[in-house]
Amino acid sequence: MAATTSTNPLHRLTPEQIEEIGKAFQEIHDDVYSDLGDRDATYIRSIIEFHRRLGALSRIMLMASRYPPALVLGTIGLSMAKIVENMEIGHNVLHGQWDWMNDPSIHSSTWDWDTASPAAAWKHSHNYVHHTYTNIVGKDKDVGYEIMRIDPRQKWYPFYLAQPFYNLLLMAFFEWGVASHDLDFEAIRSGKKSKQQLRDELKAMGVKARRQIIKDYIAFPALSGRKGFKRTLKANFTANIVRNLWSHAIIFCGHFPDQAYTFTEEDAKDETRGGWYVRQLLGAANIEGSPTFHFMSGNLSYQVEHHLFPDLPSSRYGEIAPRVKAICEKYELPYNTGPFLQQWLMVQRSIVRLAFPGGKERPKADPYRTEHEPSSNGSSNGHVAHTGPVPAFP
């Protein structure tokens, strides 16, 4: 039984409306897909090149880490490079957003990223489990990552009392948290995952971890000479922590702010394509910000668009946002969004509040209306031309 007291807009839409919404979203997808070409390929290649140049330059700078200016600049540069690599490049390539290029060196089947998670394990837990069962409490293991209570519907256990503290640890060491999360503890406990598979996954994790540790904490520090070894090691550690804090913040703002809806397994029973789209729309929340902010968040600040179209290149999300909003307006659906600090504080409040038993559903956003958005380009049907150059970065 769907909760009759629920304010969830999914429950008031008729099957016909849900089908229309599905078609409207599918049309956006197909329009963009048929338009992909040179400018998109140029975009991702220039970003990849930017990351490699910035990364190489920062590493070279850190070889002189015994001089403070080199240390500071190198650390900032490396933190930025790691963020770009993980967010705008790694996450999106592993989603298959660039597979249409048919380029074996920018392809989800061959890519690996500069983080603790081996690509294969992450693709399963994220692309498949999270993106299919988004926000279904009990099925989407990203609802609290199996260690936190961030939705009042999750059953309370005493160990959640500690979640405000271990959340701080998770912020700092997020990449290791994600890597262990990919193992899927529940599947291990219930025996759904065979011992052999677990062994293989642990082995892949070990190999990846060893390579990452040798690179950041042995090889590059060694290249900085005896005097610079410790400083470069600390700089690399700092860059990893900065990247972890940032990705934790962006990712937690994707589904855990107050506006985002969660669902029951009943809600998703016999779900149609249209129903899936509505669930993705309601379960995600955007973050408002400048083009640079969107870029540094890997366009996950367009979490709504990303969840609707996880296989479309991230650089297109900003362009299709007006069309998504137009659909929201037509069907009186919310378009969840808010400024970064507000979204982030909401998440932190929920983590603290829900560490204790009880808790109520937080107030949700109103249906989207154009006048809320004075900066809208005013096109009446919400269609914008999605041609023209992709803005260069930086």
DSSP-derived secondary structure letter, 9: G
Q: Least Å distance between CB 38 and another protein? A: 5
Here's the x/- map for another protein, 237-276, by CB under 8 A: it reads as ----------------------------------------
Burial of 1 (0-12, 13-18, 19+ CB in 10 A): exposed
363: helix, strand or coil: coil
- Which 211-240 residues touch another protein, going by CB under 8 A? 211-212, 214-215, 219-220, 223
206 lies in the binding site for another protein (CB under 8 A): no
313: helix, strand or coil: coil
C-alpha dihedral, 30 to 286 to 243 to 354, nearest 10°: -130
Burial of 361 (0-12, 13-18, 19+ CB in 10 A): middle
The residue among 3 and 56 lying less far from another protein, judged by its C-beta, is 56
| Residue of the chain from 63, 76, 101, 129 that contacts another protein (CB under 8 A) | 101
344 lies in the binding site for another protein (CB under 8 A): no
**Triad 237, 241, 247: Cα angle to 5°:** 145
In sequence order, the β-bridge partners of residue 263 are 136
Token pair, residue 137, equals 């409490």
Displacement of CA 159 from its chain's centroid (Å): 26
114 lies in the binding site for another protein (CB under 8 A): yes
The residue among 169 and 214 lying less far from another protein, judged by its C-beta, is 214
| Residue of the chain from 7, 46, 105, 197 that contacts another protein (CB under 8 A) | 105
Tell me which H or E stretch contains 15: helix 15-35
| Residue of the chain from 4, 5, 14, 38 that contacts another protein (CB under 8 A) | 38
Residue range at the interface with another protein (CB under 8 A); choices 16-24, 40-48, 245-253, 285-293 = 40-48
Q: Enumerate residues 6+ apart whose C-beta is below 8 A from 59.
A: 74, 78, 220
102 lies in the binding site for another protein (CB under 8 A): yes
In sequence order, the β-bridge partners of residue 288 are 339
20 lies in the binding site for another protein (CB under 8 A): no
| Residue of the chain from 3, 56, 161, 168 that contacts another protein (CB under 8 A) | 56
Q: Enumerate residues 6+ apart whose C-beta is below 8 A from 351.
A: 148, 150, 163, 164, 167
| Residue of the chain from 15, 37, 339, 391 that contacts another protein (CB under 8 A) | 37
Q: Least Å distance between CB 250 and another protein? A: 21
Positions touching another protein (CB under 8 A) are 30, 33, 36-42, 49, 52-53, 56, 59, 99-105, 107, 109-110, 112-114, 208, 211-212, 214-215, 219-220, 223, 311
